Amino acid sequence: MTQDFQDITFNRNHRHESAAREAAIGLRYVIAAIAMNIVVIVLALVVEASSVDGAGILALPVAILAICAFGCGAYGIYSMLDALGWSGFASAFVIASLLVPYFKLVTLMVVSVLALNLVRNNGFGFRLFGPLKKR
The residue type at 125:
G
Instruction: Note the pLDDT tens digit of each residue in 61-107.
Output: 889 999 999 999 999 999 999 998 898 899 999 999 989 888 888 99
What does the pLDDT read at residue 102? 82
In 3D, which of 132, 113, 115, 116 has the Cα closest to residue 124? 132
Angstrom distance (rounded) from CA 89 to CA 39: 30
What mean pLDDT, rounded, does the chain reach? 86
pTM value > 0.85: no
DSSP 124: E
Q: 16 vs 69, which has greater pLDDT?
A: 69
Residues 4-20, mean pLDDT to the nearest whole number: 76
**What's the pLDDT band for 1 if we cut at 50, 70, 90?**
low
More confident residue, 2 or 114: 114
Q: How confident is the model at residue 10 (pLDDT cuts 50, 70, 90)?
A: low
Residue closest to 81 by CA, chosen among 14, 22, 15:
22
Contact yes or no for 108/57 (Cβ under 8 A):
no
Is the pLDDT at 4 greater than 80, yes or no?
Answer: no
Q: At 120, which amino acid appears? A: R
